Structure 1
Amino acid sequence: MSEIERGRGVALWSQISGILASDILKGQLRQGEQLPSAQELAMRFNVNRHTVRRAIAALEQRNLVRTEQGRGTFVQEQTLDYVISRRTRFTQNMRNLNVDADIRVLEEAHELPPPPVARALGLDRNEYVYRVETLDRADGHIIDYSTSYFPAARFPDLPALYRRLLSVTRTLAEFGVADYERKHTRVSARLPDATTARVMQQQTSRPLLYVESINADTRGVPVQYGITRFSGDWVQLVLMADH
């Protein structure tokens, strides 16, 4: 039986979107629950799948659902409040949120940095850096994909140590950097490139929260330049007043 009304001047996709939104907000569709397939919804409302896809897109715009490539569409769970302050620490953030965190190293390299990275770290053009790519999960969900650059001369063989410790704080401490603070943060929203979308298992049409940062030791000398791409489906950035 159809739950939409034809001929009343309201687009069918909009009616379907409203019905599903109501089901979500009333809890009839629970957080994390998978929605019926586009074909099943098309049969339920007696419409074509294009109309259903437009309704789902409207729900995604309202951040009520998320679509995972190859899996389907799910009711959006509550986002994580990721705090950015002068002493931003991934592990501490996850501990404060009481979630199980997992860090995976995807790639590492010893290379000459792009000019913006060299400038951020205060390096000459011929000074090498270590680039470390990581993927972070919380409760099994991908929350960010990060690229970090460290001055290679100051931190010899850093990637091997980081792979063992899986903590920037503990890794830098091994090199005598007892503490460091966020010197600079820039936040923007960007569409992912094909590689980032593949790594984060999301569509290229869904924006990411793109965070560029510089961490410096207690003397103000940069020790890390980072680019972190946060999933907008799972993370809400909270900038603390001390930043």
Structure 2
Amino acid sequence: MTRTISSDPLPLALPDPTHSFWARIAHEIADAIGRGVYAPGDRLPSEQHLATQYGVNRHTVRRSLATLGQLGLVRSTQGSGTYVEEFAVDLVLRKRTRYRQSLAQAGVRGGMRVLATSHEKADAEVAKALRLPVGKPVLHLVVLGDGGGQPLHVSDRYFPLPRFEGLDAYLQETGSITQSFDRFGITDYTRRQSRISARMPAAEVASHLQQPAGRPTLHVTSVNIDMNGEPIEYASAWFAGDRVTLTVDHGHDL
């Protein structure tokens, strides 16, 4: 089965600061951002200023800033300068993860929109997650999640058929997975697992998220189960790393 969107693994980490001057400068600027010396939205000193400060040429500084940009820490605007990215939304992953509820707790409004829908045969990955035989029919949705008027994530979501026939129409109507499940008599469900990694986005993912293709995303795969322990959804989602912080809360169900 051909996936609609995909990506390649990438370790989200700064280079070894002992490796080179540009790596050391990248570390020092990242540390300054982490300590609040440069707040979200602040303009960093100019390349020439930083070059003078560190005693290097502008090309070295430019490479340092490019690395920080790829990691989602800063953004460069031609003719204006380099700015610290704003980490606007903190989404909490819990046993009962609800997208709209997480947005509301972050003080942001948003929902989900169906970009594409299809009936497919479960490949090995999807079948394992949903505890189905390989080749069994599933509903495959490509979904865009927004918050505060910005795209926050795009995801491939799979639901067993025929149990969830028509869920795409309900999701398009309500903008909520939870409300859509309610139409099928599922009033409560929990998350069995979430796996988080950093990945470079495919071109289509970057386009949906309105971010540069060279900027990493946070990739989350998850499985939701009903109250009988039956898998009801497998999702593979890419979150915009410069707009989302993911917090895993092990202490609460709600």
Higher Cα Rg, which structure: 1
| Residue matched to 2:191 | 182
Within-5 A mapping of 1:25-174: 31-32=40-41, 50=59, 53-60=62-69, 64-66=73-75, 74-174=83-183
| Residue matched to 1:216 | 225
Aligned with residue 196 of structure 1, among 188, 202, 205: 205
Secondary structure of 1:153's aligned partner: coil
Distance between the aligned counterparts of 1:148 and 1:73, measured in 2? 36
Distance between the aligned counterparts of 1:225 and 1:19, measured in 2? 39
Would the alpha carbon gap of residues 180 and 20 (structure 1) be closer, same or farther in structure 2, given more than 3 Å must change?
closer
Would the alpha carbon gap of residues 175 and 73 (structure 1) be closer, same or farther in structure 2, given more than 3 Å must change?
farther
Would the alpha carbon gap of residues 160 and 45 (structure 1) be closer, same or farther in structure 2, given more than 3 Å must change?
same
Distance between the aligned counterparts of 1:19 and 1:111, measured in 2? 47
Aligned partner letter, 1:125: V
Distance between the aligned counterparts of 2:100 and 2:187, measured in 1? 16
Distance between the aligned counterparts of 1:97 and 1:176, measured in 2? 29
Distance between the aligned counterparts of 2:91 and 2:203, measured in 1? 25
> Is the CA contact (8 Å cut-off) linking 1:84 and 1:238 kept in structure 2?
yes
RMSD between superposed Cα atoms in Å? 3.6
Aligned-residue offset at 1:12 = 9.0
Aligned-residue offset at 1:177 = 0.9
Under a length normalisation based on structure 1, what TM-score does the superposition of the two structures give?
0.76
| Residue matched to 1:237 | 246
Distance between the aligned counterparts of 1:165 and 1:151, measured in 2? 20
Distance between the aligned counterparts of 2:121 and 2:93, measured in 1? 29
> Is the CA contact (8 Å cut-off) linking 1:13 and 1:52 kept in structure 2?
no
Would the alpha carbon gap of residues 25 and 114 (structure 1) be closer, same or farther in structure 2, given more than 3 Å must change?
same
Moved more, 227-236 or 40-49: 40-49
Would the alpha carbon gap of residues 72 and 204 (structure 1) be closer, same or farther in structure 2, given more than 3 Å must change?
farther
Moved more, 47-56 or 193-202: 47-56
Within-5 A mapping of 1:8-23: none
Secondary structure of 1:191's aligned partner: strand
Would the alpha carbon gap of residues 44 and 124 (structure 1) be closer, same or farther in structure 2, given more than 3 Å must change?
closer
Aligned-residue offset at 1:171 = 0.5
Number of aligned positions between the proteins: 228
Would the alpha carbon gap of residues 149 and 13 (structure 1) be closer, same or farther in structure 2, given more than 3 Å must change?
closer
Aligned-residue offset at 1:142 = 2.4
> Is the CA contact (8 Å cut-off) linking 1:66 and 1:233 kept in structure 2?
no
Secondary structure of 1:238's aligned partner: strand
Aligned partner letter, 1:159: D
Matched residues, percent identical?
36
Distance between the aligned counterparts of 2:139 and 2:117, measured in 1? 7
Aligned-residue offset at 1:65 = 1.1
Secondary structure of 1:111's aligned partner: strand
